[in-house]
Every structure is written in structure tokens, then in C-alpha cells.
Amino acid sequence: MGDGMKPYQELSREELLTLKEELEKAYEEEKAKGLKLDMSRGKPSVAQLDMGMDIFDVLNAESDMTSMEGIDVRNYGVLDGLTEAKHMMADIMGVSAEQVIVYGNASLNVMYDAVSSAMTHGVMGHTPWCRLDKVKFLCPAPGYDRHFAITQHFGIEMITVPMTPQGPDMDMVERLVAEDESIKGIWCVPKYSNPQGYTYSDETVRRFAHLKPAAGDFRIFWDNAYAVHHLYDEEERQDKLLEILGECEKAGNPDMVYEFASTSKISFSGAGVAAIATSKANLECIRKTLTIQTIGHDKINQLRHVRYFKDFEGIKAHMRKHAALMRPKFEAVENVLDRELSGLGIGQWTKPRGGYFISFDSMEGCAKAIVAKCREAGVVLTGAGATYPYGRDPKDSNIRIAPSFPTPEEMRMATDLFVLCVKLVSVEKLLGE
């Protein structure tokens, strides 16, 4: 129905009414199929998880359980992670192993800890945030709902910053951090961003490194979740991200960044390895808290990961297998969207080269209704508004599509239903105006 049709805005009322009738009939037919598909979260598929099952064969009852430095990984000790695990995580982030602390299974935990610690004990000798009248965070949006959930949980005021294909609106970021010392941080997913799949430009990264925040304890929360998550094997089709810690060092702002990463979407989600990379001064501050908080994270899991992947080439080879499973799903979605919605003036979408999401923007005021219609017919999407602070999308237009979990065939069926709902809601909107 997308082909050969003029934009919906140019259709007469009669044409719109006829179209509405056709679309309603098609929607009832789709509903009768009894679909049950969940595209709400960026979960790896069963096939992706199956691919890494042989990681369990690298350690067994006969295995040597000592690290490269002769540490028995079954015992207490090594607060900040095995040296070889630091190297593994450093390679993923493109930093040096000296800048890394290795944690448990998920980076979300580490981000929560960083905010929690700043609230209760302050950052490097600064006043704990809980003692201040106001604490604010910048939130590039659309963005990652779990980031926003953390700051909301601590009662931190969130300020929406618009996203562009080059990254957050840096004019706004620079102005706000320079004039308001209650702004203590900014959430960033700098590579293949959630949900748009954008990668920050070199200029954006340099402008971050040169920020002049009014707050001495301002931190950039750099969640490099998709550092090695390309959809294409050819280098020229992969996004490159400038390494921010080095840029901050050059700019004389060495302590401004906390960078996070994990193997959650490399090995297993929920049983991976997470890490933070930051400056020497920040690391010292973090270690003081860690000493109280834990006797050390799961070193057996760290050793298992290192022995399985061996080196960065091993990680890249494994990620090519992920890409081979992900690519057809992304392409299935994009093909249906291109075929059915191009030129109709009722939606725009991103075409990422990596990561886990496609971001779709409907006509203003339609996202909630589209998501509800999809759910009614058996396809669950991320809640409309979830990609904005407080769940409030001012235009009610952004929808996050997560293609990873269903099969390519299910993805195509789900997208067929999705475009039908987009058309139907758009027609209803235009008829109501």
C-alpha cells in the first residue's frame, strides 16, 4: 500500500475515509492471526545465546584455576579484577588496562553504584549530592530508559537535550553545564545509540572533552554498550568512535568521564563481565568504596571469558557471528518500512549500522496509539515515551523497535502489522484534524 501512493496529507477526506475502511479490514484480519510477538527489549535471541555455549567447556574440574599472575580465582582477593580481564575489557573500550576496574555481570549495576555513591559520599571530596538543594542531569533524548530510571530513582531532576545524528545538541550541553553548577552529569550512549543507532561524531567527542562545567564533580556517564556491535563486517560500513578518555586528558579534563561497558550482548546477558574505565584519581576514589562494598567480583567468570575469547581478535570473530544473525532482522524491518511507508509523510526511521535498535518517528501525537494498536493485535513494543525522561515524549512520536529477539520471519510479520497500525492511526489523526 506504500507504493505509488501520494503523501496522506494530500489525500481528500473521501480518499482518507476509503483508505480507513480498507486499513480497518486489513487490521481485523491481522488480529485474527493471533500473533504473540515481543519486540519491547533489546534481548539477544536464543540463537545468539546458543552460539556461546561452548564457553562452559573452557573451565572444568581439571582446569588450572590460576590467573596469569598465579592468583587462585576460587579464593578471596583481587578487588578490581584479574589483569587479563582488565585487558579484555580495555580492548573492547579502546582504552588501556590501567584505566579499568572489572566488576560483576552487568554495567547497569556499575552506573547505579556510581550515582548512588555520588549521592551518599560525594565525588572525590565534593559535597555528597544528597546534601545539595538541587541535583540535575542532562538526558539526551530519545535515549535509554534504564538510564533515566536511575536518575529518577534518586530524585535527580532530568533535563532533556535533543539528539542529532552527530550526538547530543552540544551548543545546549556546553551552555547548560557552564552556567549551572547543580548539573552533575549527562547520560551518553555514544556508539550505535539506544534507540537511534547514532554514533557521536569526532567533533562531538572533542566538545565533550573540552566542556567547562561549573560543577567540579560533573561527570560524563559514557555507556559504551555497543562498542563492538556492528551489523556489517566491512570496515567502511562500521561506525568509528573517538576515544574520549584520551581526548579528556589532552583537554586538561582527565577526571570528567566514567566509561562503562560489558559483555552482556557479547557472551551472555546476565552472566557477562562489566567494567568501568576512568582516570587514575577517579579509580582511587572508586576503589575506596569497593573495599567496603565487596571482597571481589566473580573471578571464575572473568577467567572463563578471557580463556574463551583469548584476545580482541577472538571477540571480533564472535561479534561477526552475532552480526550474521542480527543483520537479516534489521534488514527485514527496513525493507518493510521502505516498501510500505516511503513517501507517505507519516513516518521517519533510522538505518543504523550497529547496536540493537531502530528508532521510528510517527506523526506528532500518534506513538501511544500505534503502540496500543500493535499490542491489541499481539505485538508488544517498548512503551511510547519510554525513550524520554519521565516517560514523557513531548511530541508523542518516538517508537523504539527492537529486532533482536524474534526470528527474521517473525520480524517481517511484526513489521507488517506495525506499518498497518502506523497507517491506520495516521489516517485517524488526519481525519480528526
Domain assignment present for 342: yes
Q: How large is the average pLDDT for residues 294-299? A: 96
What percent helix, strand, coil does the chain show, rounded to 5? 45, 15, 40
In three-state form (DSSP H/G/I as H, E/B as E, the rest C), the secondary structure along the chain is CCCCCCCHHHCCHHHHHHHHHHHHHHHHHHHHCCCCEEECCCCCCHHHHHCCHHHHHCCCCCCCCECCCCCECCCCCCCCCCHHHHHHHHHHHCCCHHHEEECCCCHHHHHHHHHHHHHHHCCCCCCCHHHCCCCEEEEEECCCHHHHHHHHHCCCEEEEEEEECCEECHHHHHHHHHHCCCEEEEEECCCCCCCCCCCCCHHHHHHHHCCCCCCCCCEEEEECCCCCCECCCCHHHCCCCCCHHHHHHHCCCCCCEEEEEECCCCCCCCCCCEEEECCHHHHHHHHHHHHHHCCCCCHHHHHHHHHHHCCHHHHHHHHHHHHHHHHHHHHHHHHHHHHHHCCCCCEEECCCCECCCEEEEECCCCHHHHHHHHHHCCEEECCCCCCCHHHCCCCCCEEEECCCCCCHHHHHHHHHHHHHHHHHHHHHHHHHC
The yes-or-no verdict on residue 317 having pLDDT over 50 is: yes
pLDDT given at position 39: 87
Which amino acid is located at 3 in the chain?
A: D
Q: Which domain holds residue 374?
A: 8-48+317-432
Sheet holding 347-349, edge to edge: 347-349, 358-362, 398-401
Domain assignment present for 1: no
Report strand pairing: 358-362 vs 398-401.
Answer: antiparallel
Domain assignment present for 58: no
pLDDT given at position 3: 44
Query: Please, what's the largest Cα pairwise distance for the chain?
Result: 79
Lowest-confidence pick of 35-39, 154-158, 414-418, 428-432: 35-39
CATH number, residue 150: 3.40.640.10
Percent of the chain with pLDDT over 70: 99
pLDDT digits 0-9 by tens, 271-286: 999 999 999 999 999 9
Residue 203 CA to residue 254 CA, distance in Å, equals 18
Residue 287 CA to residue 296 CA, distance in Å, equals 11
pLDDT given at position 287: 96
> Any idea what DSSP says for residue 272?
S
Whether residues 91 and 238 share a domain: the answer is yes
Whether residues 389 and 291 share a domain: the answer is no
Whether residues 323 and 300 share a domain: the answer is no
pLDDT given at position 220: 98
Give the residue carrying C-alpha cell 505509488.
4
> How confident is the prediction for the chain on average, in pLDDT?
96
Whether residues 159 and 257 share a domain: the answer is yes
Whether residues 212 and 298 share a domain: the answer is yes
For the record, the C-alpha cell of 309 comes out as 575469547
The pLDDT confidence band at residue 1, using thresholds 50, 70 and 90, is very low
pLDDT given at position 433: 83
Domain assignment present for 22: yes
The yes-or-no verdict on residue 5 having pLDDT over 90 is: no
pLDDT digits 0-9 by tens, 168-194: 999 999 999 999 999 999 999 999 999
pLDDT given at position 258: 98
Whether residues 397 and 265 share a domain: the answer is no
Percent of the chain with pLDDT over 90: 97
pLDDT digits 0-9 by tens, 83-126: 999 999 999 999 999 999 999 999 999 999 999 999 999 999 99
Whether residues 286 and 173 share a domain: the answer is yes
Point out the domain boundary residue: 309, 341, 366: 309
CATH number, residue 418: 3.90.1150.10
Whether residues 21 and 168 share a domain: the answer is no
Domain assignment present for 57: no
Domain assignment present for 277: yes
Point out the domain boundary residue: 285, 309, 333: 309
Whether residues 341 and 417 share a domain: the answer is yes
Give the residue carrying C-alpha cell 496500543.
372
Whether the CB-CB separation of 265 and 229 falls below 8 Å is answered with yes
pLDDT given at position 70: 97
Whether residues 202 and 345 share a domain: the answer is no
How many domains does the chain contain in total? 2
Domain assignment present for 60: no
pLDDT digits 0-9 by tens, 339-369: 999 999 999 999 999 999 999 999 999 999 9
Point out the domain boundary residue: 281, 309, 337: 309
Whether residues 199 and 95 share a domain: the answer is yes
Question: Under 8 Å CB-to-CB from 23, ≥6 apart: which residues?
Answer: 420, 423, 424, 427
Which amino acid is located at 145 in the chain?
A: D
Report strand pairing: 183-188 vs 136-141.
Answer: parallel
Domain assignment present for 56: no
Whether residues 323 and 252 share a domain: the answer is no
For the record, the C-alpha cell of 391 comes out as 516517560
> Any idea what DSSP says for residue 354?
B
